[in-house]
Amino acid sequence: MRRIIWLLLAIISFSSVGTLRVLASSWPSEIIALVRMGGAALIFSFILFSKKNRQPVKGMKDWAEISAIGIIIAVVFLLLLQAFEEAPVSSIKPISFIEPVIVLGLSVVFLKERVGLAALLAAVFAMGGLSLIIDWNFEMREAGGVWLAAIAMVFMAIGTIIIKKVEMDVSIIDVLFYPFIIGFFALLLWVAINPPEMEGMDYSQWPYVALMAILTAIAFFAYDEAVYYLGAHVSALAINGGVAVIGSLMAVYFVSDNMHALWLPSVFLFIVSGALIYVDSVQNERAEYKKLHH
């Protein structure tokens, strides 16, 4: 049950960001990314310094991997926020399914995770749902947004693998706090070198930006917990499938995005994919149990 709660929290939190970005449309992407990184780091700091019996970061290898995670998250934030400016949320959210497909391959090579037939079929059904829900008739500007989102998902997949590797030796909260602090200062340096256009910013939209920071902290904490308990490929498939569906629904309801004509068939394929992910996770648990008791 605990694992399901982490998955649901991650799905709902990640799904909300695109809609909130549209509602805070007058704010530059760089400023929103800075607030998200800084706000999430502040929230993580309260957990970090109140937590006992942690496994702290040790050695240059851990610090190098944690720094890489921070830079990757900062780049992903910038790319996705810019993508939401250039294309509808309902076109961007399904692109998130690129990440788990990449994670699936990387987790076998670098993490030695067991990937069964159920997980492979889940990826096939998920990509089928993705191909139906994406509007392939993009205008030129929208196509740019979709490509930015696709590049962001490649970076996110690499980050997921590094997170899983670091979590083998370091506490989850350390894996969250330090990368977000590093990412925050990297973004701060970027903004100082390349100041964004601040004219026309509507400061009454700040609650949407603040809510994005809070949901970012919740999303990444829940995501890291899911990766720790379920494995990288299972978590990535389950969370990104949920984000593709719920994120698109939120965009339709809150910011009047158009519902794709093939949305229902695509949702059916995502549900089948989710069921197969569950089967794969059960099979993994049984395999681990047998390994421990034989």
* Cβ proximity of 216 and 42 under 8 Å: no
Handedness of CA 150, 155, 158, 164 (dihedral sign): negative
Q: How far apart are CA 66 and CA 259, in angstroms?
A: 39
Model pLDDT, residue 288: 65
pLDDT for the residue 158: 92
The reported pTM is 0.78
Residue listed under structure tokens 């695109």: 18
SS3 of residue 139 by DSSP: coil
Q: What is the pLDDT along the chain (294 residues), one digit of tens a residue?
A: 677 788 888 888 988 988 898 899 899 989 999 999 999 999 999 988 887 777 777 788 889 999 999 999 999 999 988 888 887 776 777 677 778 778 878 887 777 777 778 878 877 887 777 777 665 555 555 677 878 888 998 998 899 888 888 877 888 888 889 999 999 999 999 899 989 888 889 999 999 999 999 999 999 998 888 877 777 767 777 777 777 777 777 877 777 766 666 667 777 777 787 777 777 767 766 766 566 665
| Domain count for the chain | 1
Q: Which helix (H) or strand (E) holds 146?
A: helix 140-166
Radius of gyration from C-alpha coordinates of the chain: 19
Domain span at residue 247 reads 2-292
Rounded-to-integer distance, Cα 284 and Cα 282, Å: 5
Spatial contact of 126 and 100, defined as CB atoms under 8 Å apart: yes
